[in-house]
Amino acid sequence: MELLSPVDTIKGVGEKTTKLLNKLGVYTIEDILLFFPRTYLIYPETTKPNNDAVGSLISIEGRLKSSPRVFKSRNRMDILSATVYVEDISVDLVWFNSNYIKNTFEPGKNYIFYGRLMYDGGHYKISQPVVFTKEKYEEVKKQLLPIYHLTKGLSNNLVTKAVKTAFEGCKLSDGRLPDEIESRNSFIPYSKAVYTYHFPESYDELLKARKRIAYEEMFFFILNSRLQENNVASLPNDFCISHHNETEDFMASLPFSLTNDQLSVLSDIRSDLMGDYISQRLIQGDVGSGKTIIAFLAMLDVALSGYQSAIMAPTEVLAKQHYLSFTNWVKESGLDIPVALFTGSMKVSEKKAMQKLVDENPNCMIIGTHALISEGREFGDLALVITDEQHRFGVQQRDKLSNKGNNPHIIVMSATPIPRTLAMILYGNMHVSAIKELPANRLPIKTCVIKESMRATAYKFVSDEIAKNHQVYIICPLVEASETTEAQNVTDYGKKLKEYFKEQYSIGILHGKMKPAEKNQIMEQFANHEIDILVSTTVVEVGVNVPNATVMMIENADRFGLAALHQLRGRVGRGDAQSYCILMNGNANDKQSDRLNIMLKSNDGFLIAREDLKLRGPGDMFGVRQSGEFSFRVADIYQDADELEMAAKDVDEIIKADPYLENHPKLRSTLNLFLTNQFYVL
């Protein structure tokens, strides 16, 4: 097998499995080798069944007094049933279509059973428990077993076998980093790091593998960024952009006053636009801080100076909202400035009409999604490019939009609370501005952390808010049920919610596996108040502005990084009404409760990110992603801040001595592989 061989060349991976793996982005042998576990299963110590453990995954040790019984269900399914005794407590065990298990038991002998404990009809019960002998359990208890992202029809066991087979038939190359970096950091070889990340022999070995891979991801990301900076350094500003009275008149007509932070950032942008050189600026604005109005004001000055400007949004719904806002603002100001919109779902005739508008108006404001960078899309004298939610696009997509013009000024906007030192590393030579102050009319979002026992109270609160004609988000960590993960999923949750509320409310389902047209339709329906409750995964994080939504309820909140929770919380609190965030804590761990309680103390994303890091140790690196913003497979800019700074220092030393890697052909070659195989999605 070769690295680029199709995944179906792996023994045991047939057509059906290939299609399921393709849904997860796995197409080649290399893809599956880099399809890292999202967390690890560590089998717990055995325990006695008790009411506190109901609903949880546990291990029990007990004996069967008699052989399991087999009978047929109504739908002709074979059901294997047995009763195990843990001292004086009986637990009913049930397996479906697993008759082979019957012959593995010896009556009177003790076994270990692992599964989810339930209580039904006055009896404890475990369905589909995994069975171990005591000797075998002692062996597996010492292991960290990989748990992968799955899709319906794909088992964790199948993925594990496929990964192992791929490693047996294919070898990853080592020596990807300069020898002095490998030696100085005592990195384990790359091939060993990748294998160990899948199948660690110990927790310490796993940490070493993770450190190596995280460093390498950030090293090549920064190296690519620095090389791009060298290619565009100190370009002269040939645009004659000035500040206009009409912009001041528009600001004076707004029903609100800009905050001091907004005014400061606007001043920074104006200095850039009128400066001697083409500028690149990062604007970090907390969720709901008012970045969009700043973007419009900058684009207004550009349009009044006779140039075109463009803003790229991450979703069609958000692009359409920007379009409506910009169109209304221009109309209300009585200004003759056309506004064009490009989205993927538009008809060809609509796109042609918009392109004609752009071609005929040198001062056009252009709004769109990825459709802005499609082939055939042409702009005139593009002086300013803005990307909204920068991390959703990446360096190459941003550059594609910039290349539509003649070296325009660049602004990237992000709601991700990245500490300034890390932002300067990640965004290179960009100037950094921040909007931390929320608009005066925004009420602070009231947040609470509750346990499962208060679910009925939470649902009553949801009903009360809907009765006030408001709307509700409910976030689940999973799209569908998982054999390996104990967490809520949107597919089943939506059905349960409809049953609970007797279908008295309109409930919508949204997740990342839906087709773009379906997602846009659901988000538009929610924005238009055709949906009362939107059950979603985190795809709503940068989705749509719905001022009427006042409740954000997050299931299994303990599974999310606090930065992600803060982003989700920012989806509400955008109107005049008081808004609320309900965090459902499904973890009895006091440390997890302490983490979530940070959300009660502040609405400041930067403070929350810092406090979260203080509480988290190396054991928290797996399973809870703090920042998926830069599309790293493993690295996390918060958890791996030390590696990020170390990688930046190493890159700067190399670039200082060899700006274009003329003396590092192997490193440049590895960088090209790194970019083309999408180990990091730029």
Tens digit of each residue's pLDDT (9 = 90 or more) over 388-411: 864 444 555 556 666 666 789 989
Can you list the positions of beta strands (E) in 271-321?
280-285, 308-312
Name the 3-class secondary structure at 83: strand
- pLDDT of 532-556, one tens digit each? 999 998 877 655 688 999 999 999 8
Q: Which CATH superfamily is domain 44-141 in?
A: Nucleic acid-binding proteins (2.40.50.140)
- pLDDT of 649-680, one tens digit each? 999 999 999 988 888 888 888 888 777 654 43
- Helix (H) / strand (E) containing 554: strand 549-554
- pLDDT of 25-52, one tens digit each? 899 999 999 999 988 888 989 999 988 7
Q: What is the mean pLDDT of residues 561-585?
A: 88
Whether residue 212 has pLDDT greater than 90: yes
At 68 the pLDDT is 81
Q: How many whole angstroms separate alpha carbon 560 and alpha carbon 398?
A: 28
Residue ranges per structural domain of the chain:
44-141, 245-435, 446-602
At 519 the pLDDT is 85
pLDDT band at 78 (very low <50, low <70, confident <90, very high): confident
Can you list the positions of beta strands (E) in 380-464?
382-388, 409-414, 431-435, 446-450
- Helix (H) / strand (E) containing 582: strand 580-584
Whether residue 626 has pLDDT greater than 70: no
Identify the residue whose tokens are 């952390």: 449
pTM recorded for the entire structure: 0.69
> What per-residue string of b and e applies to 424-461 under the rule 16 or more CB within 10 Å gives b?
bbbbeebbebbbbbbbeebeebebebbeeeeeeebeeb
End-to-end CA gap in the chain:
27
Topology at the third CATH level for domain 446-602: Rossmann fold (3.40.50)
Can you list the positions of beta strands (E) in 8-129?
39-41, 57-64, 69-72, 78-86, 89-96, 110-120, 123-127
Q: How many whole angstroms separate alpha carbon 8 and alpha carbon 575?
A: 51
Whether residue 622 has pLDDT greater than 60: no
Asked if 303 contacts 329 with a C-beta cutoff of 8 angstroms, the reply is no
Q: What is the mean pLDDT of residues 370-376?
A: 72
Whether residue 234 has pLDDT greater than 80: no
Q: What is the mean pLDDT of residues 135-159?
A: 89
**Mean model confidence pLDDT for the chain:** 85
Name the 3-class secondary structure at 61: strand
At 404 the pLDDT is 66
Name the 3-class secondary structure at 442: coil
Q: What is the mean pLDDT of residues 340-350?
A: 90
Pairing of β 57-64 and β 110-120:
antiparallel
At 596 the pLDDT is 84
- Greater confidence (267 vs 286) lies with 267
Q: What is the mean pLDDT of residues 270-295?
A: 88
- pLDDT of 362-372, one tens digit each? 999 999 988 88
Q: What percent of the chain has pLDDT over 70?
A: 88
Q: What is the mean pLDDT of residues 152-178?
A: 91
Topology at the third CATH level for domain 245-435: Rossmann fold (3.40.50)
Asked if 412 contacts 337 with a C-beta cutoff of 8 angstroms, the reply is no
Whether residue 418 has pLDDT greater than 80: no
Whether residue 353 has pLDDT greater than 50: yes
| Identical fold between 245-435 and 446-602 | yes
Q: How many whole angstroms separate alpha carbon 185 and alpha carbon 187?
A: 5
Q: What is the mean pLDDT of residues 280-297?
A: 87
